[in-house]
Structure 1
């Protein structure tokens, strides 16, 4: 049987970071509508590097930063990087 327990903390941490990133994108969209002080783009991009799936969901659901080429390119690249790293880690963890 394959042990899953060692991966659980990492999965929970990634889920929390992605949720935080999603909420950050939502907050920035709300601030934009209220014409309030915004979350800096650099902060949004760093958050996308850590939680790209939350960023993708936030961009899609809130229709936020979808016209900015920097975000349209960087966020999917970050998501792809996360997938590649996850596959590589999983492959190395399950080698006999």
Structure 2
């Protein structure tokens, strides 16, 4: 079960990272964009690290306070939740 969870989270984070790159490409070429709520749903589902890394690697959404504050807060909440579940 633990291996499945790790695999799922890894896959979700890689997907989130790639999606940030795709959205950056679309933004620079004035194409149809991926909705911001999609990135937040992915983050809340466990892909927050991929979104955060994608933000800074692709320099995408880094001027949006909702992302620069929101995504790290999601990571903090998820870390606290994991810590709580592991030790209590």
TM-score for both structures, normalised by structure 2: 0.90
Residues 10-47 of structure 1, C-alpha deviations (whole Å, 9 max, x = no match): 11111111111111111100101111000011112211
Bigger RCO (CA 8 Å, 6+ sep):
2
Structure 1 spans left out of the alignment, 5+ residues: 1-5
Give 1:89 shift.
2.4
Point out the structure with max Rg over C-alpha. Answer: 1
Unaligned runs of 5+ in 2: none
RMSD, aligned α-carbons: 1.2
